[in-house]
Chain A
C-alpha cells in the first residue's frame, strides 16, 4: 500500500531562498534514487519556476511561494505555487532557444520556460488566483521493480 508521501515547503518569494528549494529537492530526489543528472535537471527547472514567482508574482510586495513535492512510485511531481498576480501573456510568451539565430537576434531573457520544458517530462502552468507550475520528472527505471 502506498501512503501519502508529500512534502510541502513554503519560502518567502525572494531570490535568496531559491537555493533552499534546490537543497530540499536534492534531498527528496536522492531518496527516490534519481540519477545525478536527473536531479540536476530538476534543480534547474524548479529554480526557474521559483524565479518566475520571485520576479513576477508579487510586484515587489511580500509574498510566499509554496513548493509541493509529490513522491510517486516512478515519478516526482513538483508544484510551485504563488498567490500573486498571474503572468500576463507577455510574461509567458518567452522566446524560444537561441538555436539557429544570429548574434544580433539573440535576447538575454525568456529562457526559463524553455528550460523547464526541455528538462522535465511534463510542464503545466495553471492560473487560478495566482500561478501554479506543475513539473513532473519520471525516474528512468534501470531495473524491473521487484
Chain B
C-alpha cells in the first residue's frame, strides 16, 4: 500500500535459481510469496537461493514461509540457502533460531 513495496525477481544460473526478495515480506504479501516459492521448491536438482539484500522487513509470517521452504527442500534432499541478509533481519533470524537452517550446506 505504501513504500517498501514487496517484489520478487528470479534469476536462473547454471544449476541454481536465485530469488531476489525486496521490500516488506509480511502478512499482506505472504500468499504471493508462497505461490511464487512453491514451484521453485520442487526443483530438486537445482540449488535454491534467496537473496535478501533488498529485504527491508520481515514478520513471523515471512519467517514461517522460510521454515516451510527449509522443510520442503530438506524433504527432497535439495540444496537451499539464504544470502546477503541485512543486519535487522539477521537479528530476527538469530532470535527465532532459524539461522542454522539457512546456511549453505555442501
A-to-B contact residues, CB < 8 Å: 15-20, 22-23, 37, 40, 43-44, 47-48, 51, 54-55, 97-101, 103, 106-112, 114-115, 118-119
User: By CB atoms of chain B within 10 A, which of A20, A44, A48 has the most?
Assistant: A44
A110 to B59, CA, bound (A): 11
A28 to B57, CA, bound (A): 19
The residue from A48, A54, A99 contacting B60, defined by CB atoms under 8 A apart: A48
Contact flag A19-B4 (CB < 8 Å), given A47-B59, A48-B59: yes
- B residues in contact with A115, CB < 8 Å: 60, 92, 95-96
A108 to B67, CA, bound (A): 5
Q: B96 and A97: CB pair below 8 A?
A: yes
Query: Which B60-106 residues have C-beta < 8 A from chain A?
Result: 60-61, 63-68, 70-71, 74, 88, 91-92, 95-98, 101
Q: Is the interface of B mostly helix, strand, loop or mixed?
A: helix
The segment from B12-20, B22-30, B38-46 found at the interface with A is B22-30
Q: A44 and B27: CB pair below 8 A?
A: no
Number of interface residues of B (CB under 8 A): 29
| Residue B1 is within 8 A (CB to CB) of chain A in the complex | yes
The smallest C-beta distance from A87 to any residue of chain B, in angstroms, reads: 15
- A residues in contact with B95, CB < 8 Å: 97, 115, 118-119
B59: nearest chain-A partner, CB-CB: A47
The smallest C-beta distance from A68 to any residue of chain B, in angstroms, reads: 21
The smallest C-beta distance from B105 to any residue of chain A, in angstroms, reads: 11
- A residues in contact with B35, CB < 8 Å: none
Contact flag A98-B59 (CB < 8 Å), given A19-B2, A19-B24, A106-B71: no
A119 to B94, CA, bound (A): 12
A/B interface sample: 14 pairs, CB < 8 A:
A16-B1, A17-B1, A18-B27, A19-B1, A19-B26, A51-B60, A97-B97, A98-B101, A103-B70, A107-B67, A108-B65, A108-B66, A108-B68, A112-B60
User: By CB atoms of chain B within 10 A, which of A22, A54, A100 has the most?
Assistant: A22
Q: A51 and B97: CB pair below 8 A?
A: no
A75 to B4, CA, bound (A): 28
Contact flag A18-B26 (CB < 8 Å), given A51-B60, A111-B60: yes
Beyond the given A98-B96, A103-B71, please list 16 additional residue pairs across the A-B interface where CB-CB is below 8 A. A16-B1, A16-B28, A19-B26, A51-B26, A51-B61, A55-B27, A97-B97, A98-B98, A106-B71, A108-B67, A108-B71, A111-B60, A111-B64, A112-B60, A114-B96, A115-B60
